Amino acid sequence: MPNLDLRTILVTYICGNLVCGIVLTYLWWQNRRHYHGLEFWALSFLSNFVGIGLLSGRGVIPDFFSMLLGGFFLIAGTYLLYKGLAVFLFGINRTPLHIYALMVLYLFLQFFFIYVSPNFGIRNILFSTMLVFFSAQLGWLLYFQADSATRKITGFVCSVTTIFGVLAIIRIILNLLIYPGANPQQSASYEAYLYLAFQLMYVVLTISLFMLVNRRLMIDLEADIIKREETETELDLSRDKFAKAFQASPTAILITRISDGMIIDVNDGFTKIMGFSRDEVLNKTTKEINVWVNPDDRNKLVQEMREKSHVKNFHFDFRVRSGSIIHGEMSSEYIRLGDEDCMLSAVQDITERKRMEDILHLRLKLWEYSLTHSALEVMQMALDEIETLTGSQISFYHLVDEDTNSLSLQAWSKKTLTDYCRAEGTGMHYSIDQAGVWVDCIRERKIIIHNDYTALPDKHGLPEGHAQVIRELLVPIFQQEQIVSILGVGNKPTDYDQRDADMVEYIASLVWSIVAKKRADEQIQQLNEKLAALALVDELTQLPNRRAFFLRGAEEISRSKRYGLPLSMLMLDIDRFKTINDTYGHARGDMALQCIARVLRDQVREVDLPGRLGGEEFGILLPNTRLEEALVIAERIRKSIEALQCKQDTEVCITMTASLGVADYNRDMQGLDDLFNRADTAMYKAKNNGRNRVEIFKED
């Protein structure tokens, strides 16, 4: 066998590993975005390059670098090849712990047989054993862990790694049978052939890795082609389904360009709701066909679409071909058609739903409003709301009295009063026979719609200042088969229809029920106020009675206590009143009491309270009045009564005198009863002292 120069083989080995490392680095760079793990292959060959380089420098560089680190880099290269295949094929980036443990043991044994007990042969056996181990690991990974599809592309690499293991076993056997020498430079000749074989296998390994990547690329490409074909088939099917669903959907669906709102496609549901044909709207913008009642609505829609890429339950008013206004609800999704941003929108006509919601809201609003407002204000508010709901410009509410065949104008809407109608008539009563065609709702006892008012032959001329009528809707309200009111709206931009009639009828009935209740409540309140007044007023003199006097007196006592204000009371009794009754009769006696009441009302202040306490006895409360001031008032009243000539027409003139007692309140008193008793005591003192005089209460 010819001798081979081992140094030359090592040099070519180093160069071959470098070239293979560069080739695999290029392979990694080209496929780094598609696959992971290729970088470990490049590092594996570069690690072998460093390891062989260090091993070849023995004698020139220290043994630590040439033998220990050189062997480590060679084993590390084998490990990196294993890790790269595990990541590339299976995505396994975790290394079993026993591999790390074995590599640490290998380094320890290498160190021992380099420095403690130098032995080149054992080191060769250790290195070859590690190669056998990693070949077995690779075989297990590439064959037993791979599925059948993966084994089809890993067979070549598996064969190459198996050959590496076989070469390593051969090297172990030769090292056991034949002395290998003291170092790589003096090794046996078979070592040169083995190095040559390993060098050749590294080249073959590089080729096999290249083929592995190419095979996987081909398989992935075929899979992508199949998937794309399946996707295109599904897309075609989806397009067909979408087209059918798009056209068959009862909901209005349209595709528009976001930038300017140009309509790209619409379905039959859109044409039914909007009244346009498909050809009339295609390639036109929504503004061109005048869909948006409020153009700012589209700007808001586009802004929300750009921010969120979708819009849910966007409410707006849109105009159909006939000119009618419909309330819509739109939900849109962003789609890309070619190079243009578009949106797929579904539109629902929710006019009826919104009407019902508005009516229910108005019902609650009217009832709440009626709690603090008059019936007239409730009528006007209802008219304002009805105009908004129907799009009308004028409205009125009349009360009807079928028994007298008359009606009265009760309320106009605010818009009617301020913008359209200047005619007088609020509260005016006039005969139904004199009214124009609008009272046909009373004559025919049903809802009347005049959508072409000017063409009516029997219409009357409108009074000066009255709003010009174009079209009108008139609704009579029945109660027990009697028409009790009429609610009318007019001048809607489009024709009134049955939906308008139903809504206005419902609201008109609701208004009447509220108005009727308000009127009944007001009548009850008035009656209650009258009853309350009667309960506190003396029927004969129209002065506060004893109950009212003592209620007010208790309030004045509390005020005097709280603020320290003076309070006085006068008690008055007509002298010899029994003689007046006996002489002139009880009718004249009653007249005398009424004359005394007039004097008291004339002589006291607004804050004072005169009252009839019973029979011919009167009391007068004097708030914020001291005793001296009360004495002056009492004397003035006494003189007025003394000078009084009480008569009616030419009847007998009655003259009278009165005795008065005066007392003032102080904090030692328990309440109004004490003040009353003191004033009463002073009054009887005046009677006992000769009558027709004023006495002040004194403790003695």
Taking the CA atoms of the chain, what radius of gyration do you get in angstroms?
58
Count how many Cα atoms sit within 13 Å of the Cα of residue 688 in the half-sphere of its side chain. Answer: 8
Going by C-beta distance under 8 Å and a sequence separation of 6 or more, which residues neighbour residue 403?
A: none
**β-strand pairing of 694-696 with 658-664:** parallel
Of the candidates 224, 212, 113, 200, which has an alpha carbon nearest to the alpha carbon of residue 156? Answer: 212
Q: At 642, list the tokens.
A: 């003394």
Q: Kindly provide the residue ranges of all beta strands, DSSP E only, lying in 299-444, ordered along the sequence.
A: 310-319, 325-337, 340-349, 394-401, 406-412, 429-431
Q: At 180, list the tokens.
A: 């290998």
Q: Give the 3-state secondary structure of residue 321.
A: coil
Residue 616 designated active-site: yes
Of the candidates 91, 645, 401, 67, which has an alpha carbon nearest to the alpha carbon of residue 83? Answer: 91
How far apart are the C-alpha atoms of 468 and 457, rounded to whole Å? 16
**Helix, strand, coil percent content, the chain, rounded in steps of 5:** 60, 15, 25
Q: At 187, list the tokens.
A: 């090794």
Going by C-beta distance under 8 Å and a sequence separation of 6 or more, which residues neighbour residue 3?
A: 189, 192
Going by C-beta distance under 8 Å and a sequence separation of 6 or more, which residues neighbour residue 333?
A: 309, 310, 343, 344
Amino acid at 657: T
Ordered DSSP codes for 24-50? HHHHHHHHTTT-SSHHHHHHHHHHHHH
How far apart are the C-alpha atoms of 42 and 368, rounded to whole Å? 83
In degrees, rounded to 5, the angle at the alpha carbon of residue 85 between the alpha carbons of residues 82 and 91 is 120
Contact 351, 360 (CB under 8 A): no
Q: At 515, list the tokens.
A: 């108005």
Q: Give the 3-state secondary structure of residue 8.
A: helix
Ordered DSSP codes for 150-186? HHHHHHHHHHHHHHHHHHHHHHHHHHHHS---SSGGG
**β-strand pairing of 567-574 with 263-266:** unpaired
Q: At 519, list the tokens.
A: 């009127």
Q: Give the 3-state secondary structure of residue 255.
A: strand
How far apart are the C-alpha atoms of 458 and 306, rounded to whole Å? 58
Candidates 616, 617, 629, 651; catalytic one? 616
H-state helical runs in 65-178 = 70-90, 97-111, 120-139, 148-177
For tokens 């040099």, the residue is 11
Catalytic residue numbers?
Answer: 616
